[in-house]
Chains A and B, each alone.
Chain A
Amino acid sequence: MDLFDILLEPLSYDFMVRAIITTALAAIVCAVLSCWLVLIGWSLMGDAVSHAVLPGVVLAYIVGAPFALGALVFALIAVTLIGVVRNTSRVKEDAAIGIVFTSLFALGLVLISVTPSQTDLNHIIFGNLLGVSIPDLIQVLVLGVVAFTILILKRRDLTLYAFDPTHAHAIGLSPKRLGALLLGLLALTSVVALQTVGVVLVVAMLIIPGATAYLLTDRFSRMLVIAPAISAVCSIAGIYLSYYLDTASGAMVVLTQGAAFAAVYLFSPRQGLIGTGLAKARRKKAVVLAA
């Protein structure tokens, strides 16, 4: 079997084709968003929101509403609760986030346990890449394209918000509104990624690509290209690996992204551990030689 066959064989199954399209799409949208999340320092917020949407998704399933609607509502509830707990008690923000998102996540699990037809909903938690139906695919496609388009059109404002919200305010923009926009997109994107890797691992796709790209460039505009490219390649590679190694597909996607980050962390020319270590050693040697 040559490389061509290795790449083509899984594509003979419709479910694999759907899995690859869904994953690539989710990977790209999440990766674009992750560029801002890692720079603002919202990784924990990403974790929180992506978990906290679970009860919203379950309730939406029960009443037959779009998942995205339920997710947005609960993302809003989560962020509001975190703000309230932080501002009105002596509890610090990280603790507030931890309390709110785990409680909401648990609420989601309880709702799942009392809802008939549990199999479907359990897939929300761990993802069900190989069971993506056509309607699932369409939903991911629509939400993904909407989130992606807004992110790209408003990228300069969002970057300004991430870099210097005071200046944003000084020139008449509203940092509050931009922050809310980013949180809303975070909720939307979480729904996109649920299908692929599940609630538990969404946060990986929301952090790893941006962090990886950040180690490779010092231009934000390039991060916005590098992150989705790496993320898409890793995700598709992850699916192929899971196909041939017969492992859990969502987890394999995340593992591949983690491996890519590790490689960049070690070998990135400018920021990599080994690259900078060698440069240091060279400088030391030069000093010794000069002396």
Chain B
Amino acid sequence: MSNPAILVENVTVHYGDVLALDAASLSLEAARICGLVGMNGSGKSTLFKAIMGMIKPDAGRVLINGEPPAKARKAGGIGYVPQSEDVDWQFPLSVRDVVMMGRYGHQGFTRRASKADRAAVDLALDRVELSEFAGRQIGQLSGGQKKRAFVARGIAQGATMMLLDEPFAGVDKRSEATITRLLKELASDGCTILISTHDLHALPQLCDEAVLLMRKVLMHGPPEVVLQPEHLAMAFGLDVLNRDLPDSDLPDSDLPDWGFTDHAVSNPQGRS
């Protein structure tokens, strides 16, 4: 197939008077891992929503494998891993319940689980190494386990494309390595993975490519090129260059997590 897994063409989105995406374009081949880098308010979440078809762009279009997003959604191809603050961790559901939600698209009117559904859930839990925690209430997992539970939901769903919103926020180093390994395995199985983040530490080890977003796609290329400070400065504001940067043997040195949240462009939707 010659169609890219994700094609975003000149997508423009406004929230009221606020311009969230300005003719953003992006093309991503299947089975690649792509890191979407930008500060809060740069349009990362908006781009996700546009790819999932949750918001209709004012201009431009999105195609998933050459088809409109609605078709990919119906086919169960789009997996989504929400950022932690968007999840109610007190919600009375077990890890297994959450993973089972990945199967709903394949089930009948009442979403009654079949043997095949249960097998798919067991397999997904096993793959993310959460089988022993299947009966736990979701809030009783560690930060990394929480992320893996949602990745398992995407696996159980049979997603061919996974969107992860800030998967490394609140995750310790060890879990970060586990998640990185897991995502690489999924990609090698053909799953296309798009990760939104403003934490740059994990990107070079994880991603095949990186995208720099500031309402439009400023740059798209290999992570070691995109993450060079002079390029980051375009997305994060010029003052980055005036900060104490690590010596520039990038990407091997750990980049600081520049907490840009305070200059965030306000998000009129309340949730980023």
Contact = CB atoms under 8 A, between A and B. Distances in A.
B104 A173 contact: yes
B93 A220 contact: yes
Interface string B77-105: 01110100011100111100110011011
A39 B76 contact: no
For chain B, which range describes its interface: under 10, 10 to 19, 20 to 34, or 35 or more residues? 20 to 34
B196 interface: no
A251 to B, nearest CB: 30
A156 B110 contact: yes
A157 B76 CA distance: 16
A166 B97 contact: no
Contacts of B70: 172
Contact of A169 (B73, B92, B102): B73
Indicate the member of A159, A169, A172, A222 with the most B CB atoms within 10 Å. A172
B74 interface: yes
Contacts of A220: 91-93, 97
Indicate the member of A39, A169, A214 with the most B CB atoms within 10 Å. A169
B42 interface: no
A164 B92 contact: no
A154 interface: yes
B54 interface: yes
A288 interface: no
Interface in A203-229: 214, 217-220, 222-223
A164 B54 CA distance: 13
Given A166-B86, A172-B73, A160 B78 contact: no
Contact of B104 (A39, A157, A218, A222): A157
B46 interface: no
Contact of A172 (B93, B105, B153): B105
Contacts of B267: none
Interface residues of A, number: 25
Contacts of B157: 171
A170 interface: yes
Given A153-B109, A214-B92, A218-B137, A171 B87 contact: no
B76 A171 contact: yes
A160 B105 CA distance: 11
Interface in B43-64: 52-54
A217 B137 CA distance: 10
A39 B91 CA distance: 7
Indicate the member of A157, A163, A220, A222 with the most B CB atoms within 10 Å. A163
Contacts of A285: none
B68 to A, nearest CB: 12
A167 interface: yes
B69 to A, nearest CB: 9
A170 B111 contact: no
B80 A170 contact: yes
A244 to B, nearest CB: 37
Contact of A154 (B75, B82, B110): B110
Given A157-B104, A170-B78, A171-B104, A163 B91 contact: yes
A219 B79 contact: no
A188 B78 CA distance: 35
B105 A171 contact: yes
B93 A167 contact: no
Indicate the member of A159, A167, A217 with the most B CB atoms within 10 Å. A167
B111 A157 contact: yes
Contact of B153 (A157, A167, A223): A167
B36 to A, nearest CB: 17
A174 to B, nearest CB: 10
A222 B82 CA distance: 26
B88 A39 contact: yes
Contacts of A163: 88, 91, 93, 98, 101
B111 A156 contact: yes
Nearest to B140: A218
A162 B101 CA distance: 12
A153 B107 CA distance: 13
Interface string A25-51: 000000000000001000000000000
Nearest to B74: A172
Contacts of B78: 170-171
B80 A166 contact: yes
Given A156-B104, A218-B137, A171 B73 contact: yes
Interface of A: 39, 153-154, 156-157, 159-160, 162-164, 166-173, 214, 217-220, 222-223
Given A170-B52, A222-B92, 10 more contacts: A159-B93, A160-B101, A166-B80, A167-B82, A167-B153, A169-B53, A171-B76, A172-B73, A173-B104, A220-B92
Interface of B: 52-54, 70, 73-76, 78-80, 82, 86-88, 91-94, 97-98, 101-102, 104-105, 109-111, 137, 153, 157
5 contacts: A156-B110, A156-B111, A159-B93, A171-B78, A217-B92
